[in-house]
Amino acid sequence: MASDASTRTTAHPAVDALFLITAVGFFAVLMNYYVTSTGGPSLLASTMVPIAFVLYVFDALRKNDFYTKLGVSLNYLIAAAYIAVSLYVSYYMYTEFEDLGTERAGDWDPLDFYVGGAMFLLIMEYARKRQFELFILNIILIVYAVYGWVVPGMFNHPGLSWERIVTSMSLEDSTGIFSNLPQLALTLIGSFVLVLSVLRAFGCIESILRAASRLAARSLYALPQAAVLGSFGVAAVSGSGAANAVTTGSATIPAMIKSGMPRENAASVEAAASLGGQLMPPIMGLSAFLVANFLDVSYGDVVARGYAPALIYFISVFVSVYLLSRYVGTVLVGFWHIAHAFLGEYTKLKIDGSGIVLGQLLQSLKAPHADIGVNFHMRSHMSGTIENALL
pLDDT digits (tens, 9 = 90+) for 233-248: 776 666 667 767 776 7
Q: Is 203 left (phi over 0), alpha (psi -120 to 50) or beta?
A: left
| Sign, CA torsion 60/61/65/68 | positive
pLDDT reading at 374 higher than 50: no
Name, of 142-146, 256-260, 340-344, the range with top average pLDDT: 142-146
Q: Which residues of 164-193 are buried (b: 16+ CB within 10 A; e: fewer)?
A: ebbbbbbbbbeebbbbeebbbbbbbbbbbb
pLDDT digits (tens, 9 = 90+) for 88-121: 999 999 998 888 888 888 788 889 889 989 999 9
C-alpha distance across the termini of the chain, in Å: 65
Query: How would residue 281 be classed by pLDDT, with cut points 50, 70 and 90?
Result: confident
Query: How would residue 173 be classed by pLDDT, with cut points 50, 70 and 90?
Result: confident
Backbone angles phi, psi at 69, to 5 degrees: -85, -5
Q: What pLDDT score was predicted for residue 279?
A: 78
pTM (global) more than 0.75: no
Q: Could you check whether the bond before residue 282 is cis, i.e. omega within 30 degrees of 0?
A: yes
pLDDT digits (tens, 9 = 90+) for 201-218: 777 656 655 665 565 555
Q: For residues 74 and 72, give the distance between their C-alpha atoms in angstroms, rounded to a whole number.
A: 5
pLDDT reading at 149 higher than 80: yes
Average pLDDT score over residue span 150-165: 88
Least confident of 22-31, 198-207, 211-220: 211-220
